[in-house]
Amino acid sequence: DTEVTQTPKHLVMGMTNKKSLKCEQHMGHRAMYWYKQKAKKPPELMFVYSYEKLSINESVPSRFSPECPNSSLLNLHLHALQPEDSALYLCASSPPVGGGPGYTFGSGTRLTVV
Amino acid sequence: GNSVTQMEGPVTLSEEAFLTINCTYTATGYPSLFWYVQYPGEGLQLLLKATKADDKGSNKGFEATYRKETTSFHLEKGSVQVSDSAVYFCALGGPYNQGGKLIFGQGTELSVKP
């Protein structure tokens, strides 16, 4: 299995809703990432987990809450989002040491906040 | 800090034309370099990579050589097809230990006309 699987592919939520994005990989990667991407712009790093511990938080607002329940799963919990949070949310994983195939991205969740 | 600079787009070419997308980087240490491609409405796909100086990455007719002396990783293809129309991102990978950041260039939109 050489994929990162993200669900759902599309999500529409109101500003008072609570929802979660899910990401799963079975490549044995021990680093996992959340990125946010606006149309035709480069992805912006949000969070990095290394060995299931949060290692980088790029000053992301608290309405985004990451969780790494185990080495294969990564969640992003969403609450009280704003319309400007509408974007493509990408999950990625990589081997933490020694190189290898590099970063693998999922196909993303396209989020619309109404 | 580390950074990546790509040539600005959009780039419009006729089918079978030669493609070059310039990418230069600034980095300390020995980063890995990547080209990612994003087709309309999709996530990022790894196109090719190089992990050390003078490495040549290649895939699907695309090539890029890691040039440490010129700090460049230019993407080339000898004959583009309409199906190559996409946004291309050059990226630099940080240290793999402890979950290194992936730093992207601004992206170059390529449009190939029949």
Separation CA B6–CA B105 (nearest Å): 6
Binary contact (A40, B87; C-beta < 8 A): yes
> Distance, in angstroms, between A82 CA and closest chain B CA?
22
Burial class (CB in 10 A: 0-12, 13-18, 19+), A92: buried
| Low-confidence winner among A61-65, A81-85, B41-45, B63-67 (lowest mean pLDDT) | B41-45
The residue of chain B with its CA nearest to that of A92 is: B44
In chain B, residues with a C-beta closer than 8 Å to the C-beta of A41 are 106-107
Binary contact (B98, A33; C-beta < 8 A): no
| Region at A62 (left for phi over 0; alpha for psi -120 to 50; beta for the rest) | alpha
User: Would the pLDDT of B50 be above 70?
Assistant: yes
Size of interface A-B (CB pairs under 8 A): 73
DSSP string, B78-100: SS--GGG-EEEEEEEE--STT--
B71-80 average pLDDT score: 97
In chain B, residues with a C-beta closer than 8 Å to the C-beta of A96 are 96-99
Of B43, B91, B98, Cβ closest to residue A90: B43
| Preceding omega of B10 cis (within 30 degrees of 0) | yes
B97 pLDDT tier (thresholds 50, 70, 90): very low
In chain A, residues with a C-beta closer than 8 Å to the C-beta of B49 are 102
In chain B, residues with a C-beta closer than 8 Å to the C-beta of A71 are none
B83-101 average pLDDT score: 77
The residue of chain A with its CA nearest to that of B45 is: A105
In chain A, residues with a C-beta closer than 8 Å to the C-beta of B98 are 31, 50, 55, 96
Binary contact (A88, B105; C-beta < 8 A): no
On average, the pLDDT of chain B sits at 91
Top-confidence residue, A100 or A25: A25
B42-57 average pLDDT score: 91
